[in-house]
Amino acid sequence: MGVPPAAPAPARRRAAALLLLALFAASARGIKIGPRPAAPPGVIVKYKHGRGAQPTIAGARPGGAAPSQALDPALNLYRVQAPAGQTAAQAAAALARSSEVEYAFVDAYIHIAGGVPPDGQHSSSHSGSSAEGLTDAVEHLGRRLAAVRRPPPPPPIRRAASAPSPRPPPPTPVRRAAVSPSPPPPRPPPPAPVPAFVPNDPWLKEQWALNALRAPQAWALAKPDSTSVITCVVDTGVKWDHPDLAANLIIATPEFKAAHTDDNGHGTHVAGIIGAVGNNGRGVAGASPRARILPCKALDANGWGLISSVIECISLCRSRGAKVINTSFVMGDLNVPLKDAVGNATQAGIFFSAAAGNAGDDTDVYPYYPGSFEFPGVVAVANVAEGDLLAYSSNFGAKSVDLAAPGSDILSTWIAPDFKGAPYSKLTGTSMAAPYVSGAAALAIATSGGTLTNAQVAKYLAASSRPVAALRGRVASGGIVNLEQLINLALAAKARADAAKKAAAAKPA
């Protein structure tokens, strides 16, 4: 009897991925996994000279262009709807041929980067909270399986905007560009013991992360108030009437609240990690217990969103004066419009705290965006569990992940009763680690009197991090966020700025 021929390698890889996918799904204990939406119908277009000239897409209504919506007018970025009877790829190809268009790309999806409930904790009510862990795991499997017996990759080829193509080969690892010509600030000497400020929030003992960050000691050093700094949370929205969040959310119109209400839970959880109201006798405390949080909904109830929606949110955050943007979402492909939007925001002085991702990948080899963008003021954050160990699912990178923060078994605000019958929940992932860095950054900027730039915040976070042997060679700083030491550096920066102002005022005219 003849032996059946072996299945082609791609088929074997797909079968293995599907098997592991099934095993992962079975381990999710009934948690609903949000499906990825259908292919997006739109195109992201960057015009060379604003929107005055409107190139016609073949097949659009006679004498006009397809309907468009401004995403970021400062960058001339617009979302254009594909005409009836055309695919988005066909519309992108038609637009790219215009002399008025710098580029045109089919809109793409991005997904939340973390939020898997701890073992045995949650029911199927967590509609989107495990989708991102599953998605990251499958993406990780695809990358690993595709790498088996693969010949050396060819040189990178510029991808045409007119049609999809396979993922480009991993880029040569590049260390994020130095944020300034000056050397990083020296680690401050061990300070004298500082009494901790312990707020009266009843579940503070459940928040192991705050002690790991030395947050109570930081709060004793400086007033724990970052209301002068707007922190923008680009996510699934927020529960506006949450009793432990409402006081720290921006004042908004009913229309804005309706458009940015959380129907997933992820965004509310992230917002609480940054700035749940502290010392109010209820629930939990955020890293910055008095914060000013601007939520912007870019992701849906299942944790998926369009790049165009993310760009729109970044533009909104910038226009509202945000100094910090939290991005607890990831994608594995380099996206040019997203890169332009993030780069433009960093040039405007905005600091980004980005989740590193939850696939256990080395992002020096397999980058995840936006954390892997090489801009000063963009920090990628890994997840450590209690005991300072890198979480098994966390991405890492000796050059591309800047530092770590607590992200496992994190108690924060939620959209429905869960933890002890109250609207709080425990989740795990780099999505939970990134907002601790966002809260720390906002508190540092406020403590410095607004003197710190986004690049200085990134530098000070690394310089003040608490060294951990298990993180050496896994993250660039080799350590975990140390909020106490960061605030010491921010206070020193404020003192220098105040002294410089005093000296300038004393000079004769």
For residues 456 and 181, give the distance between their C-alpha atoms in angstroms, rounded to a whole number. 12
345 contacts 464 by C-beta, under 8 angstroms: no
At residue 84, φ and ψ (nearest 5 deg) are -60, 135
Q: What is the mean pLDDT of residues 378-392?
A: 98
Q: Is the pLDDT of residue 343 over 50?
A: yes
Note the maximum CA span of the chain: 102
Cα torsion angle, 384, 390, 391, 393, sign: positive
For residues 306 and 42, give the distance between their C-alpha atoms in angstroms, rounded to a whole number. 10
Higher-scoring residue by pLDDT: 272, 179: 272
Catalytic residue IDs: 235, 266, 431
Q: Is the pLDDT of residue 256 over 80?
A: yes
- Model pTM above 0.85: no
Q: Is the pLDDT of residue 327 over 70?
A: yes
List pLDDT tens digits, range 409-456: 999 999 999 999 999 999 999 999 999 999 999 999 999 999 999 999
Q: How confident is the model at residue 169 (pLDDT cuts 50, 70, 90)?
A: low
Q: Over the chain, what is the mean pLDDT? A: 82
Q: Is the pLDDT of residue 190 over 80?
A: no
Q: What pLDDT, on a 0 to 100 scale, did the predictor assign at position 206?
A: 97
Buried b (16+ CB within 10 A) or exposed e, 136-161: bbbbbbbbbbeeeeeeeeeeeeebeb
For 204-498, the fitting CATH number among 3.30.70.2660, 3.40.50.200, 1.10.3720.10, 3.40.50.1820 is 3.40.50.200
Q: What pLDDT, on a 0 to 100 scale, did the predictor assign at position 51?
A: 60
- Which residues have CB under 8 Å from 243's CB, separation 6+? 282, 283, 423
List pLDDT tens digits, range 143-165: 544 443 333 433 433 333 434 44
Q: Is the pLDDT of residue 178 over 80?
A: no
In this structure, of 35-49, 100-114, 220-234, 391-405, the range with the lowest mean pLDDT score is 35-49
Q: What pLDDT, on a 0 to 100 scale, did the predictor assign at position 260?
A: 98
Q: What is the mean pLDDT of residues 381-406?
A: 98
Give the three-state DSSP class for 509: coil
Q: How confident is the model at residue 389 (pLDDT cuts 50, 70, 90)?
A: very high
Report how far Cα 88 is from the mean position of its chain's Cα atoms.
27
Q: How far apart are the first and last CA of the chain?
A: 101
Q: What pLDDT, on a 0 to 100 scale, did the predictor assign at position 75?
A: 95
- Which residues have CB under 8 Å from 172's CB, separation 6+? none
For residues 305 and 135, give the distance between their C-alpha atoms in angstroms, rounded to a whole number. 13
